[in-house]
Amino acid sequence: MVTENALHQRRRAPTAEELAGIPWLGRLPTPERDWVLPHLVVGDAEAGDYICRMGRPVTYWFGVVEGLLKMSADSAQGHPITFTGVPPGGWFGEGTALKREPYRYNIQALRRSVVAGLPVDSFHWLLDHSIGFNRFVMNQLNERLGQFIAAREIDRLNNPDVRVARSLAALFNPVLYPGVGQVLRITQQELAYLVGLSRQRVNEALRNLEAQQLIRVEYGGLRVLDLEALRSSLRERD
């Protein structure tokens, strides 16, 4: 397993294609964009690599260019708690970067991923100089609050179909994860890790959701056919 330091040592400059996958760059005027480009780095994470860990000081604001990450923490009893997945286009840790406090969660790659990083000092420079960047970060914080409230609700659900449906809906959030589009590249095992169910039970839930024409299982991923139904129409059944 590669540590954050090893991943940091493997950092490199992003390609033009990777820069195109960073959603907030387009919000910046040309002078601010030109200023920040030399500060951006990317790293290639393998499955199981930690991007950041609980208790470590914040050094970067991170985003997913390609792949899938998992945000989790350990409970007081020592059991792992998964908060959410982070698919392509998602940037995370803005609250931690704002306060420059240690991480309160772990971020781990579920599969080979390309992760972008903006140094925390550069993050604060943009906050001080860019209205467009401030609006992006405020939207992120607002959406993130709603996401974690929903995650708490999902954690209390007993119906596996509803847990899977709501968790999928969260991964298709167009504000937090604009790189996903209509098809999420995810395996049933990866989804099982995020939802906290067995792969067999996730498979059954996906078949049920597909029968209701809410999703379509495709090779290597899932296509959402009715996002609003996944978000709110399904109700937990006893």
pLDDT in tens, 94-118: 999 999 999 999 999 999 999 999 9
Q: What is the Cα–Cα distance from 181 to 156, expressed in whole angstroms?
A: 28
Q: How far apart are the first and last CA of the chain?
A: 42
Domain spans of the chain, in order of start: 4-150, 158-233
> What pLDDT is attached to residue 159?
82
* Sheet of strand 41-45, all strands in order from the earlier edge strand to the far edge: 41-45, 113-119, 60-66, 91-92
Among the residue ranges 77-91, 165-179, 185-199, the one predicted with the least confidence is 77-91
Q: What is the Cα–Cα distance from 229 to 238, expressed in whole angstroms?
A: 19
pLDDT level of residue 75 (50, 70, 90 thresholds): low
**Pairing state between β 80-86 and 91-92:** unpaired
User: How does DSSP classify residue 212?
Assistant: T
CATH code that applies to domain 4-150? 2.60.120.10
> What pLDDT is attached to residue 6?
65
Topology (CATH level 3) of domain 158-233: Arc Repressor Mutant, subunit A (1.10.10)
In the predicted model, what is the mean pLDDT of residues 7-26?
90
pLDDT level of residue 238 (50, 70, 90 thresholds): very low
In the predicted model, what is the mean pLDDT of residues 116-123?
97
